Amino acid sequence: MRFSRSSWAAITVSVISALAALAFSTRGHWLDWLTARSNSAKAEEEYSPAAGQPKILELSPQARKNLSLMSKPASPRTYWRTIQVPGVIVDRPGVSDRGITAPAVCVVAKIHAFPGDTIKPGDRLMTLRLISEYLQNTQSELFKATKEVQLVQEQRDRLEPSVKSGAIPGARLVEIDNQLRRLTAAVQAYRQDLLTRGLSAAQTDAVAGGKFISEIEVVAPPPLTDGKQLLSTPLSSYPTPADRTLAYEVQELKAELGQQVQAGQLLTVLANHQSLYIEGHSFKREAPFLEKAAQNRWPVRVEFAEDENKGWAPVEQTAFIRHLANSVDPTSRTFAFYLPLTNQLRRYERDGRTFLVWRYRPGSQVRLHVPVAELKEVIVLPAAAVVRDGAEAYVFVQNGDLFERRSVQVLYEDRLDIVLAKDGSITHGLYLAQSGAASLNRILKAQNASGGLPPGAHFHADGSLHIPGQ
């Protein structure tokens, strides 16, 4: 059965009319449903994280303790932009170490000080048995010259009355005086030779009297005191008066018991690590910065990577660049520069001996922050006080239990500090969280995304949300 076009039009009109009548008669039901959906969509848009997120976070005192939060007032100040240069602690040449050598050909008979022992000037280091033919001959010559001086002096004493009476010409007495002066000069030369070979004045006197020396004691030398050597550091830096008398500690033995050593051969190495150097290693392109810092005596911040400051006194010294090396290492293509470092020590007693523990040890690595430019009227915060989110950087301003997130402009940052511009976003005296900015930002974002917290819900220190029962 076929319908005409006019019949189809009539059917369509009838169906539309019926549906319209049905919708009108049931409008009480579907109008409420549409209104609820519209309000829900509006609420979702209003509380969507992308639409006007709240910037204030409330944290209880317990939560702040869990995050180890600490706030300090913002205070603009001057900050030095720096470059970071690696460095290492090294001995100070000619100051920290001192070698003790054999005065003549000898055999090591006894060793009195061993590595780690602390010694004072004059303490015995080794006993050496002399086998040097030269030293034995020098002792013999000193003895003979001393005796000849005595004989000539006796002869002069006998002739002097005869010269005065005219029985003997005065020229004879002049000749004896010249001989006496020659012998006295020879005695003085022999004495000085023995003194430089390690004999004491008392031993030299004994040799002159005929008692030859077969063994000599090698002792610790006196500390130098002209401002360039071992004890140039103020005595106040030593913890106790007893430490001030300790000039050296034995660092290394270079000779063994019973070993024959030649004149000038190294026997032992003494060390005093009170005065050290920090040796920085920089590339040639950084040389202008280092030269300017050295010329203007700008303080260099030293970060001791391996330093444990537990039990040590605070470091109150300021590091300056003393000098720059004028040669480049052919392997690393770096050049060195040096900063003086005063060490700290502790002492303890064991078996009647004193031992020292130094805070800074040669070979330890450091990081040097060399100043290159001055930034005035800026706000300096620890690196953990600022969090980045895309192009934005935020800090958190504390007001009681509330923390407000504020956008800031970062001028400079390194591993430790972040420098903010004084552009009005942070004013003087506002309390800023000094750490935990990343955790606070995660908590704030999670709180905004949740649209409110269910009863009993709370945030962990890492920013994760915990809901009871889930």
For residue 43, is pLDDT > 50? no
Query: What confidence tier does 10 reach under pLDDT thresholds 50, 70, 90?
Result: low
CA 92/CA 227 separation, integer angstroms: 14
User: Which of 306, 299, 280, 316 lies closest to 359, judged by CA?
Assistant: 306
Which 3 state secondary structure label does DSSP give 10? helix
Assess contact for 273 and 360: CB atoms under 8 A: yes
Assess contact for 71 and 432: CB atoms under 8 A: yes
Which contiguous run of DSSP H or E holds residue 179?
Answer: helix 170-196
For residue 54, is pLDDT > 90? no
| pTM of the predicted protein model | 0.65
The predicted structure's pLDDT at residue 426: 87
Amino acid letter, 302:
V
CA 202/CA 213 separation, integer angstroms: 11
Residues 6+ apart with CB under 8 A from 262: 102, 105
Taking residues 445-452, report their average pLDDT. 70
* Per-residue pLDDT reduced to its tens digit, 319-351: 999 999 999 999 989 999 999 999 988 888 888
User: Per mean pLDDT, which range of 46-60, 194-208, 360-374, 442-456 is the poorest?
Assistant: 46-60
Percent of the chain past pLDDT 70, that is, above it, reads 78
CA-based radius of gyration for the chain? 44
User: Per mean pLDDT, which range of 11-25, 61-75, 393-407 is the poorest?
Assistant: 11-25
Per CATH, the number for 84-93+273-373 is 2.40.30.170
Dihedral of CA atoms 165, 169, 171, 173 in degrees, nearest 10, equals: -40
- Four-residue CA torsion sign, 224, 230, 233, 234: negative
The predicted structure's pLDDT at residue 177: 85
CA 31/CA 12 separation, integer angstroms: 26
Structure tokens at 168: 């003997």
What's the CA angle centered on 417, arms 412 and 423, to 5 degrees?
50
User: Per mean pLDDT, which range of 208-217, 275-284, 302-311 is the poorest?
Assistant: 302-311
For residue 47, is pLDDT > 60? no
CA 385/CA 68 separation, integer angstroms: 12
Which class is domain 56-79+375-466?
Answer: mainly beta
User: Per mean pLDDT, which range of 37-41, 183-187, 327-331, 440-444 is the poorest?
Assistant: 37-41
DSSP state of 440: H
Taking residues 436-460, report their average pLDDT. 71
Which 3 state secondary structure label does DSSP give 70? coil
Assess contact for 279 and 335: CB atoms under 8 A: no
Taking residues 431-457, report their average pLDDT. 77
Structure tokens at 384: 């953990």
For residue 46, is pLDDT > 50? no
**Portions of the chain given CATH number 2.40.30.170:** 84-93+273-373
* Per-residue pLDDT reduced to its tens digit, 213-266: 888 889 888 876 544 443 334 434 444 444 455 678 899 999 999 999 998 899
Percent of the chain past pLDDT 90, that is, above it, reads 31
For residue 19, is pLDDT > 80? no
**Higher pLDDT residue, 259 or 162?**
259
Assess contact for 389 and 378: CB atoms under 8 A: no
Tokens 């018991």, located at residue: 257
Q: Which residues of 54-86 are buried (b: 16+ CB within 10 A; e: fewer)?
A: eeebebeeebbeebebebeebeeeebbbbbebe
Amino acid letter, 380:
V
Q: How far is CA 374 from the centre of its chain?
A: 23
Q: How many CB atoms lie within 10 A of CB 369?
A: 21
CA 240/CA 142 separation, integer angstroms: 46
User: Residue 443's beta-bridge partner residues?
Assistant: none
Tokens 């829900």, located at residue: 40
User: Which of 28, 60, 35 lies closest to 443, judged by CA?
Assistant: 60
**Higher pLDDT residue, 226 or 354?**
354
* Average per-residue pLDDT for the chain: 81
Taking residues 188-202, report their average pLDDT. 86
Taking residues 276-301, report their average pLDDT. 93
Q: What is the DSSP string of 183-234?
A: HHHHHHHHHHHHHHTT--HHHHHHHHTT---SEEEEEPPPPP-SSSSTT-S-
Amino acid letter, 222:
P
For residue 429, is pLDDT > 90? no
* Per-residue pLDDT reduced to its tens digit, 69-89: 889 998 899 998 889 999 999
